[in-house]
């Protein structure tokens, strides 16, 4: 079974600064997908960024980028130019390849990010 | 608004009572998932449907839990004889799955959840 570990329960960043959220995972599969989700106080999970394990290039979405280290099974999220609206819980998630099976996600425990004005 | 909607948003019940939650997915989505999220934890998979068929159930889903998706549209999750350990947020997500092929484009859209408190 796959596991996802987020060991930092909380982090804080100054507005406009850069912050990195850590995530490690364990799997015996060679192909898989990794995600970062944001959960604001409204509780709705929002997809931030995703990474295919077979791609060596790190995914980037505007101010959000990842550092994917497949050998180390590490998947960190970097948020640049932090904004007050980035304050939320962030979850790292793993998904096996979808080949007719369901695409259920395995989530980490999450990290609470606060942004200081 | 054409997102995933869940009802009710909050539910308080006494131990031993039955509760039912509803999820309305995005209309053209054929897959629907239920997750449970307890305080300080990430969501955990409970079950999922493809159209009206329930294709997988987690071991977390005890005999007191039952989920349905009649006609492949909305879904209900019922908990019978609730226990204090059932207190959690129940999240629903839907997606459009295009067939038997590997794809990362199956994007899950989540609702805002139903917060259950069992007293």
Residue position matching structure tokens 């909305």: B74
CA-CA distance, A5 to A15, in Å (whole number)?
26
What residues of chain A, 49 to 68, have a C-beta less than 8 Å from chain B? 50, 52
A33 touches chain B (CB under 8 A): yes
Contacts for A34 with CB less than 8 Å, ≥ 6 apart: A23, A25, A50, A51, A53, A66, A68, A75, A92, A93, A94, A95
Q: Band the pLDDT of A50: cuts 50, 70, 90.
A: very high
Mean pLDDT of all residues in A54-62: 91
Contacts of A38 in chain B (CB under 8 A): none
The predicted pLDDT at position A81 comes to: 97
CA-CA distance, B87 to B118, in Å (whole number)?
5
The predicted pLDDT at position A101 comes to: 59
User: Contact at 8 Å (CB) between B6 and B115?
Assistant: no
Digit-coded pLDDT (tens) for A11-22 = 999 999 999 999
Chain B residue whose CA is closest to A44? B112
Digit-coded pLDDT (tens) for A83-116 = 999 999 999 999 987 655 567 899 999 999 999 9
CA-CA distance, B85 to B119, in Å (whole number)?
10
Tokens matching residue A22:
């850590």
Q: Band the pLDDT of A78: cuts 50, 70, 90.
A: very high
Q: Where are the beta strands (DSSP E) in chain B?
A: 5-7, 10-13, 19-24, 31-37, 44-50, 53-57, 65-68, 75-79, 88-95, 109-110, 114-118
Q: Which of A106, A79, A110, A109 is nearest to A95 (CA)?
A: A106
> Dihedral through CA A95, CA A4, CA A110, CA B1, nearest 10?
10
The predicted pLDDT at position B105 comes to: 61
Regions of chain B with pLDDT less than 70:
1, 98-105
Task: Please give the backbone phi and psi of residue B32, each rounded to the nearest 5 degrees, phi first.
Answer: -140, 135
Q: Band the pLDDT of A41: cuts 50, 70, 90.
A: confident
What residues of chain B, 10 to 69, have a C-beta less than 8 Å from chain A? 31, 33, 40-45, 48, 50, 55-56
């Amino acid at each position: 079974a796959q596991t996802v570990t987020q060991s930092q329960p909380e982090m804080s960043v100054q507005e406009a600064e850069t912050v990195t959220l850590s995530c490690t995972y364990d799997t015996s599969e060679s192909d898989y997908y990794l995600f970062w989700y944001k959960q604001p106080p409204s509780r709705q999970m929002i997809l931030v960024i995703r990474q295919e394990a077979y791609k060596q290039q790190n995914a980037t979405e505007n101010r959000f980028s990842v550092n994917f280290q497949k050998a180390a099974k590490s998947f960190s999220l970097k948020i640049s130019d932090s904004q007050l609206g980035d304050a939320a819980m962030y979850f790292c998630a793993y998904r096996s390849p979808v080949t007719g099976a369901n695409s259920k996600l395995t989530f980490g425990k999450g990290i609470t990010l606060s942004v200081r004005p | 608004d054409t997102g995933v909607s869940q009802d009710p948003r909050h539910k308080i019940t006494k131990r031993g009572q039955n509760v039912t939650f509803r999820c309305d997915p995005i209309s053209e989505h054929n897959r629907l998932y239920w997750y449970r999220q307890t305080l300080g934890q990430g969501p955990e998979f409970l079950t999922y449907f493809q159209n009206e068929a329930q294709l997988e159930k987690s071991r977390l889903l005890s005999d007191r839990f039952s989920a349905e998706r009649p006609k492949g549209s909305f879904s209900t999750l019922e908990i019978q004889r609730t226990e204090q350990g059932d207190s959690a947020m129940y999240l629903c997500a839907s997606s459009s799955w295009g067939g038997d092929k590997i794809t990362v484009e199956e994007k899950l859209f989540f609702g805002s959840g139903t917060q259950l408190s069992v007293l």
